[in-house]
Chain A
Amino acid sequence: MEDQQFRQEVRDWLSANFPPALTGVNGLIFQGDAHAAAANADFQVWRKAMADKGWGTPTWDKAYGGAGLSAAQAKIIAQELSAIGAFNPIRSYGTMMLGPTLLEFGTEEQRLQHLPRISTHELRWCQGFSEPGAGSDLASLQMKCVDAGDHWVVSGQKIWTSGADQADWCFALVRTDTSVKHGGISFLLIDMTSPGVEARPIVLISGSTHFCEVFFNDVKVPKGNLVGAVNQGWNIAKRLLQFERSSLSEVKTDVTPLAPIAHAMLGTDAEGRIADADARARIVHNAMRHAAYLQTVRRFNEEARNGGPGNGVSTLKNLWSNIVQRRAELLVEVLGADGLGWSGDAYPADAREATRALLHSKAFSIYGGSYEIQNNITAKRSLGLPDR
């Protein structure tokens, strides 16, 4: 009954505050591009409204910029957003990864300094984990962090850092002890405007400059920016990666069905079915797996809420990347030559977007721990398979 009342409250507030011009717009555009976000007046109105309400991070304490709501209420907000084709304008690396990490491992001072500005999405964060020599084997990272008395001095290089050129802050893994591997890593918050930080964008196969290589030349970082204890960063990183994986496999659960596009591009038979029987069979197979994947997300969430196993994040991420990548390939296949355009009005805008999306989707099984690494984790943690 209370839930029903809250749902109504959310509906009323959304209809008064969500700019209709943003209906159906993919929020990831603004999440990934600070310039697009700054240039869009509707987005700024929407961001400000949600920030004031605290509903972008609904379960966080009010002191941290949240709304102090229950998980059930947060779910209601998410459902109502999705029901009207709205998105959460606050969603970011800050809300998905750093926020939950600071809530668990940060000091009260660190939380009060950073969380309120994450919950308004005023400041952007990037994730400085990977290095040229440290990808899947993340713990082999080398970026040095030396104690210089009243501050730290950081030097080295990060790579594949998403959004680093637009980020205000970076949460990074640094090496504070070179004599041990996992036990020599610390978790550090670095102001990207500090002297000595330089981010150079890298062009992806999709044409976007989503990520950067970042150089740190003797960058001074205040002592208070270290999260947890010195050399205890690996445990924090592992927890953060869990937050990352679970948020990755939950994005965009409602995708446009392939059927209408396939009807238009491949024709229909006398019974109104997709005319190309082979393509139809593969599309249907993928669509059914996608439906079962969504059922699995719901089931895992329900089990987690009831204190269930909760060890399925790696499994879920692989199901997601596998099914969604396959779908992206099928969509471009169905588009035929229309799906092969890079630019120009000869190619429908939707088709060009689908093609770029296909190219980008290849990253799903690489970032946040590759497909193979997730399989390793499932084999060890969920299935208890041996090392030798």
Chain B
Amino acid sequence: MAVLNEEQTMLKDMVSQWVRDRMPVGVARGLYDHSGGGRKDATTGFDADAYAEVAAMGWSGILVPEAHGGSDFGAFSLGFVLEELARALSPLPLLSSAMVAVSALRLGGNAAQQSAWLPGLADGSIIGALAVDEGAHHLPDILALTATRAENGWRLDGIKRPVADGMGAGLFIVAARGDDGTALFLVPADAAGLTREPLDQIDARRPALLRFDGVVLGDDAMLGQGDALLSAILDRAYVGQAAELLGLATQAFETTLEYLKTRVQFGQLIGSFQALQHRASEMFGELQLTRSAVEAALVAIDADDPQLPSLASLAKAIANETAHRITCEMVQLHGGIGMTHEHDAGLYLKRSRVAEQAYGSSSFHRERWARLNGY
């Protein structure tokens, strides 16, 4: 862990305390039904009451300027909040709203748009979500949803899926293909012609499928145009998702380590077997690489570092791989109990697979990094 200042240390302690008291893994488990799928009566896929508490503590406003009701603590602080929460797989829309949507408004929004939306995002009364993906893969360069010129504005047609936290969102940041390339729009969830339905995803988080059927928007709904704006927003999403993967992987590792220290076979603790010790040591090494990559990328956001795109893809690719490996090992090293829905290993595995695909798989980010670095 990088060196924290006094305010950051207090914030971090506060978050871990809150996770312990209020957000044990059991809360994420509560989203599932007994068959291991998403609960039929749950519509949003996150815990709205808990998010209100999170907002009251100011965490949803960490990236929001003080003038709009936030604390402007910076991405590094928000990063370790996301990490801590992800340790318990906390079902909260903090990444979608406080990291991605707020960043979109900060990067692209004009004064009126910022005043209209940032205070609500900061105090948690509105949840924002980015609608970019449309199919099986994260391919932000190839968008099918169209934005065509309409009288005094624009008209959107197409679908978006999966949209993380989309069932509870009040505001969508929609990436569309316009006549002049990529364009981004601010679309209220109640816009006419927009419908949404929940998807029963393996992590029970219920992302949305959005249908845009002639959604008409005024010019004031245009956030900005061009691939650069979308890339800059996505860089924040990549790093935030990587921070969550780091937290998830760290906890999966620690839970597994505990098991190695308590399970007895052949008259000895299984953690005394060298074959397992070495696997644990190597996982620990991978976690170190991941922490370094994530922290460096968070710092790059706050510093407006031109290297951010490269650092963000490095962080996401490495976090993907580490979380993937550790969640596999978590099941394997628990043996039979790790295969049961009753045990947490499966929850970590399922959430990890979703977070690995969200905002780009390992191969997407390795390719992006490779192009940025001349390979």
Contacts and interface: CB of A to CB of B under 8 A. Distances in A.
A40 interface: no
Interface stretch (A76-84, A99-107, A143-151, A295-303): A295-303
Contacts of A312: 288
B375 A385 contact: no
Nearest to B253: A383
B269 interface: yes
A386 interface: yes
A259 B291 contact: no
A254 to B, nearest CB: 15
**Main DSSP-derived SS at the B contact region:** helix
B280 A372 contact: no
Contact of B375 (A287, A298, A302, A384): A287
Given A312-B288, A376-B274, A288 B281 contact: no
B300 to A, nearest CB: 11
A291 interface: yes
Which of B1, B274, B282, B291 gathers the greatest number of chain A CB atoms within 10 Å? B282
A350 interface: no
B278 to A, nearest CB: 4
Contact of B278 (A299, A375, A386): A375
Interface in A318-336: 318-319
Contacts of B289: 289, 292-293, 295-296, 319
Interface in B280-298: 280-282, 284-285, 288-293, 295-296
A250 to B, nearest CB: 15
Q: How large is the interface on B (under 10, 10 to 19, 20 to 34, 35 or more residues)?
A: 35 or more
A291 B314 contact: yes
A379 B2 contact: no
Q: How large is the interface on A (under 10, 10 to 19, 20 to 34, 35 or more residues)?
A: 35 or more
Interface in A265-311: 273-274, 280-281, 283-285, 287-289, 291-293, 295-296, 298-299, 302-303, 306, 308
Contacts of B370: 273, 280, 284
Contact of B281 (A257, A273, A318): A318
B350 interface: no
A386 B269 contact: yes
B271 A386 contact: yes
A303 B1 contact: yes
Interface of B: 1-3, 257, 260-261, 268-269, 271-272, 274, 277-278, 280-282, 284-285, 288-293, 295-296, 314, 317-318, 366, 369-371, 373-375
28 contacts: A262-B375, A273-B371, A287-B373, A288-B318, A289-B318, A292-B289, A292-B290, A292-B292, A292-B293, A295-B289, A295-B296, A296-B288, A296-B292, A299-B296, A302-B3, A316-B288, A318-B282, A319-B285, A319-B289, A374-B281, A375-B282, A376-B281, A378-B284, A378-B285, A380-B277, A383-B277, A385-B271, A388-B269
